[in-house]
Structure 1
Amino acid sequence: MSMIRVENLTFAYPSSYDNIFENVNFHIDTDWKLGFIGRNGRGKTTFLNLLLGKYEYHGKIQSSVQFDYFPYPVSDKNKLTTDILSEVCPMAEEWELLRELSYLEVREDVLWRPFFTLSNGEQTKVLLAALFLNDGHFLLIDEPTNHLDMKARETVSAYLKRKKGFILVSHDRCFLDGCVDHILSINRSNIEVQSGNFSTWFTNFQRQQEFELAQNVKLSKEIERMKKAAQQSKGWSIEVEKTKNGTRISGIKADKGHIGHKAAKMMKRSKSIEARQQRAIGEKSRLLKNLETVEDLKLTPLLYFSDTLVTFSDVVPIFDGKDICQPISFDIKQGERIVLDGKNGSGKTSLLKLLMGQQIEHRGTVAMGSGMILSYVPQDTSMLNGSLSEFANANHIDESLFKAILRKMDFSRIQFEKKMEDFSAGQKKKVLIAKSLCEQAHLYVWDEPLNYVDIYSRMQIENLIQEFSPTMIFVEHDLAFRNAIATQNIRLTVG
């Protein structure tokens, strides 16, 4: 057991005027299982790169462990998996690798296959297994769930629960709850460490924010009351002081000493109230620095004239001449929110692409009502480049509304000046979601919209869908999100 200590850490990219981190201080135990959370663009991956020594910074990071990073960069994916894993963990025995793979429910024959033939989920699992076999290393795991279906997420979460000594960046609430014992959170003004899983942390964070909001209201009222009292006492003191010279009370000359003493007493009271007021102002200034405001989003879905919008009849996507899944039949009806369920590679994305009119080899029919308007959020964000204004213009959406939605999804105004290719992965996904929210449609077709999107924005989108009840068909592996919004689950079985 040892400690990782961060002292007065300050960092900014050379091209930026603002510090990403400023005088950050905390320490963590190398035996802990840490979930690392924070809104998109706050610097989670940047902090991991600082631990890896990739950037220069001010302050200190002290540690006696070696850091390893996931995703691990595989230089030649044509090599056999066993050869790649030997590079990752050269000291590990083959039986140790096989043991770890059994925990992750990966067949041992993957070791003797070229790495590129493994699915994304299998690649994630074998690399994690190898990295955890490096004794004395501390693992930095950056968003491993984006290539994992729901069953694989459960398996990897259970695997991580067996381990210790890692920082895990993830926005999947159920995944985090299943495997971490501490939360490392990047807040608006600091980084904090707290014992417990995500649900424990979130409950405590909400309570703290509720307390600070109530305290802020109380102090605001108190400051205003003291301000008036101080002004009143000061005014009285000045008026009393005026009576010292030339003023007689009932024909008797005023006692200057008594009046002066009374005026001084009132002035002293005024200064005492002002001092208390300043202390209250100081206390108030320390509140709400980490307040996460999540504004409500709006959506205006269109009603279709028919109850049934789309009918899938014995549809089977085909790849390389082979059926991807067993024939599937279902209807999309007005107001339904259908989630497509199934393992990676079972044809979920293919069904959505067929619905969007893309040329996918298939059998069966997809019958769509005439005049229907669809809004699509694809998985891929690689097409995003140029400015937000150019993107809004090219997609014929209202630029002001588009940017207002992004502001509500925690985009800073400085972000509007950047090129989209320089956005974080989560910010790119938010661009696609914001575009869809600008569009009035009969049916919203979303393909894994939440990849890389922060937890607050996920909850924000959940609330939006629950309030406006759009008709949807979507693919998403975040269990909490699915449970919150799906009205029907369509299971795809590999053929």
Structure 2
Amino acid sequence: MSLIQVKNLTFAYDGSYDNIFEDVSFQLDTDWKLGFTGRNGRGKTTFLNLLLGKYEYRGHISASVSFEYFPFPVANPEDLTLFVMEGIVPEAAEWQIKRELSLLKVSEDALYRPFESLSNGEQTKVLLAALFLKENSFLLIDEPTNHLDVHARKLVSDYLRSKRGFILVSHDRAFLDNCIDHVLSINRADIDIQKGNFSDWQENKRREDDFELAENDKLKKDIKRLSEAAKRTSDWSDAVEKTKNGTRVGGLRPDKGYIGHKAAKMMKRSKATEHRQQAAIDERAGLLKNIESAESLKLAQLPYHQDRLVELAGVSIFYGEKTVCGNVAFAVERGERIALSGPNGSGKSSILKLICGEDLTYTGTLRKGSQLKISYVSQDTSHLRGNLSDYAAAHGIDESLFKAILRKLDFARVQFEKDISSYSGGQKKKVLIARSLCEPAHLYVWDEPLNFIDVLSRMQIEDLLLEHAPTILFVEHDSEFCRRIATKVVEL
């Protein structure tokens, strides 16, 4: 066991006028299985890169271990998988490599195929196995689930649970719950570390937020009551003071000394009340700094004149001579929320693209309702660049509504001035979802919409879909999201 010490860390990117981290301090144990959470753009990947020494910063980071980052690039993907792994961990024996791959249910013959011929899920498992063969290293695992289907996620989560000594960035709640024993959270105002899994952290966060909201409400009432009391006492003091120079009562002059003493006593009481009021104001200022806003979202669903929007009968899709999927048959009825499920490579994305009108080679029958308007969110965000205003104009959506949705998804106004290409992976995905929510549509087709998106935003999107109940066909490997949202599952 050893410690990673972070002291007074401050960092901002060159040319940026807002700090990602400002004077933060904490320490980590290298034996922990640490889940790393926080809303998109808060600096999770940036912090991992700071540990790797990629950027200059103010403050101090010390550790007695080396760091290894996942995912890492493969220089020669055309090489056999065995050679790729030996290049990453030359000290590992072949039997050790086979042992790790067997734990991840990767067949031994994958070692003797070109790395680039493996599926995205297989590549993820191979690189994770190589990562854990490195000795005396603390592992930085950044979003390993984005190319894994539900079954593979469970497999990888079980594998990580058997290991120790890593930071895991993931927004999949079930995945995190299964394999971590501590949580590192980047909050709005600070960084917090707690023992337990993600659900433990989330419950503690809910209780803390509820307590602070109740305290804030109580202090608001106290401040109002004290303010009114201070004003009454001050008014009484002024009124008593005026009687010092009043007329004779029964031929007697007012006792100025007594009246002055009484006025001073009332003024002192007024000052004491004001001090209590200020203390309550100061106490209230210390609350709510980490309360995350999660305003409700809306979408522009259009009513459709038929019950059935889309129907596939015996559809098979081909890329060249390769059959991507065969004999697919299902229908999309108005109001249904259909999860398209199946292992990686089973043709889920191809089905979505075909429905959206992409020119693919296929056999069978595809029927779409007349005048059907579809809003599509793709997996890919690599094409996003330029500013948000131009993006909104190019897609014919209302810029004010588009930016209002992004604000609700935790975009700071300063992000609106930046080029979209500089956004984090989660922020880019939010751009696609916000655009889709602005588009009037009869059917929403979303392909892995939650990749990179933080947990709180996932919950906002879940609440939106449950409240407005749009007709939606989606592919998503977050099991909790599918459990809450899908009214029907189509398995490929």
Q: What is the TM-score normalised by the length of structure 1?
A: 0.96
Distance 2:150 2:354 in 1: 23
SS at match of 1:253: coil
Deviation of 1:152 (Å)? 0.6
Q: Does 1:445 align with 2:445?
A: yes
Amino acid at match of 1:295: E
Distance 1:146 1:131 in 2: 17
Match of 1:433 in 2: 433
Query: Which runs of structure 2 are paired with 1:9-408 in the superposition (5 Å)?
Result: 9-245=9-245, 248-408=248-408
Q: Does 1:3 align with 2:37?
A: no
Distance 1:251 1:459 in 2: 78
Over the aligned positions, Cα root-mean-square deviation in angstroms equals: 1.5
Distance 1:422 1:110 in 2: 36
SS at match of 2:98: helix
Q: Which moved more, 1:5-14 or 1:474-483?
A: 5-14
Q: Which moved more, 1:21-30 or 1:246-255?
A: 246-255
Distance 1:439 1:425 in 2: 22
SS at match of 1:328: strand
Deviation of 1:306 (Å)? 1.6
CA offsets per residue over residues 430-473 of structure 1, 9 Å max, x none? 11111111111111111111111111111111111111111111
Distance 1:44 1:222 in 2: 39
Deviation of 1:158 (Å)? 0.5
Distance 2:121 2:363 in 1: 27
CA offsets per residue over residues 373-416 of structure 1, 9 Å max, x none? 11111111122121211111111111121111111111122211
Deviation of 1:348 (Å)? 0.5
Amino acid at match of 1:391: Y
Distance 1:238 1:487 in 2: 70
Distance 2:424 2:121 in 1: 22
Distance 2:331 2:219 in 1: 57
Deviation of 1:47 (Å)? 0.8
5+ unaligned residues in a row in structure 1: which ranges?
none
Distance 1:2 1:491 in 2: 47
5+ unaligned residues in a row in structure 2: which ranges?
none
Deviation of 1:254 (Å)? 3.1
CA offsets per residue over residues 50-106 of structure 1, 9 Å max, x none? 111111111221211111100012122122222222232232222222111111111
Deviation of 1:248 (Å)? 4.1
Q: Which moved more, 1:400-409 or 1:479-488?
A: 400-409
Amino acid at match of 1:358: E
Distance 1:119 1:214 in 2: 51
Amino acid at match of 1:405: I
Distance 2:269 2:89 in 1: 72
Distance 2:305 2:242 in 1: 82
Distance 2:36 2:251 in 1: 80
Distance 1:442 1:219 in 2: 48
Distance 2:159 2:251 in 1: 95
Distance 2:370 2:235 in 1: 77
Deviation of 1:115 (Å)? 1.5
What is the percentage of aligned positions where both structures have the same residue? Answer: 61
Q: Is contact 1:384–1:420 with CA below 8 Å preserved after alignment?
A: yes
Q: What is the TM-score normalised by the length of structure 2?
A: 0.97
Deviation of 1:278 (Å)? 1.6
Q: Is contact 1:300–1:468 with CA below 8 Å preserved after alignment?
A: no
Q: Is contact 1:302–1:441 with CA below 8 Å preserved after alignment?
A: yes
